[in-house]
Amino acid sequence: MTLLKYLRACAICHNYLPPCDWLCSFCWKCVEREYLYSEDCYRLEKQIPYLRLIDWHEDNHLLIQYLIQSLKGGGPEFIFKRFALEMFSRILPLGLWDKNTFPLFLPVPPKNPKDKEHAFSLAKALNFYFAGELTQVLQRKISSSFQKIKNKRERAKINIIKTRADFSSSKPIILVDDVLTTGSTAKACWRALNQPKNFFVFSLVWKKPKQGNRKLNFL
Ligand SMILES: [Zn+2]
C-alpha cells in the first residue's frame, strides 16, 4: 500500500515517472521556489494577522492552480505534513506567541459538507508540529442560494456559527484554510468566535485579489 502511493503520475505535469512523491522532482522544485521567506509570511490586515506559505499571483498562476486542484481531489496526509513542516519552520521563528503556550487550531468549515476537508487536513498537520490542540467549533450555515453567491459583499455575510456556545480560549487561536482570498470567511469566523485578541489565520496559499477584477476570486 505504501509503495502504491508513489506509483502515480505527477499531480501537476502528469508525467508518469515513478516513484513520484505526489509531484515529480521538477514540479517540487518549482513549487518550493514559491515558498516565502519567514519574514514575508506575515501580513496584518484590519487587525488580523495572516500567515501563508505561498503567494498565488499572475506569474505562478497555473502552477499553483494545478497544485491546489490536485489537493482538492483528495491529497494524502503526507502532502499536508510536508507543507505544514515548511510553514512551521518559517512561522515559529516569528515568535507570534509565548513559547510556553500551546495554540488551538481551528479548521475553516468546508463550503460544502460533502467536500473533503482540506482545511482540516492542513490544521491537523500544523497541529502535529506546533503541538497544540485541534478542535472544530465552527460550522457554516448554508442557505440554498449560497452556491450562487459570488460577489464580495455577499460573501462577507457568510454565516458561520459556533457549535459550542460556551467556547472561549485564552490560548492563541489559529484559523486554518488551504486558500485565502478576500479573507471574508476568516473574518466571519473571527466574528463568530466573538473577536478574540490572540487570533491568527494560517493558509497554505494567499490568492492576491487582482484589483478591479473580482472575477478572479473564484475559489
Ligand atoms: Zn511534474
Give residue 181's Cα distance to chain centre.
10
Question: Cβ(198)–Cβ(171) under 8 Å?
Answer: yes
Residue 49 to residue 138: CA distance in whole angstroms:
19
**11 CA to middle of ligand 1, Å?**
7
**62 CA to middle of ligand 1, Å?**
13
| pLDDT tens-place string over residues 126-150 | 999 999 999 988 888 766 555 555 5
More confident residue, 20 or 75: 20
Q: What percent of the chain has pLDDT over 70?
A: 79
141 vs 68, 113, 115, 146, 187, CA distance in Å?
25, 10, 15, 9, 15
**217 CA to middle of ligand 1, Å?**
26
The residue-averaged pLDDT of 7-14 equals 83
**16 CA to middle of ligand 1, Å?**
8
**54 CA to middle of ligand 1, Å?**
18
**71 CA to middle of ligand 1, Å?**
14
Question: Cβ(148)–Cβ(118) under 8 Å?
Answer: no
**146 CA to middle of ligand 1, Å?**
35
**127 CA to middle of ligand 1, Å?**
29
**25 CA to middle of ligand 1, Å?**
7
**123 CA to middle of ligand 1, Å?**
26
Peptide bond into 19 cis (omega under 30): yes
φ, ψ for residue 65, nearest 5 deg: -60, -45
- Residue 149 is predicted with a pLDDT of 54
- Residue 216 is predicted with a pLDDT of 45
The CATH topology of domain 39-56+82-216 is Rossmann fold (3.40.50)
- Residue 217 is predicted with a pLDDT of 45
| pLDDT tens-place string over residues 71-107 | 876 667 889 999 999 999 999 999 999 888 899 999 9
pLDDT at position 213 over 80 = no
- Residue 107 is predicted with a pLDDT of 93
Q: What is the overall mean pLDDT for the chain?
A: 83
**66 CA to middle of ligand 1, Å?**
10
Residue keyed to cell 519567514? 38
More confident residue, 53 or 165: 53
- Residue 218 is predicted with a pLDDT of 42
**69 CA to middle of ligand 1, Å?**
14
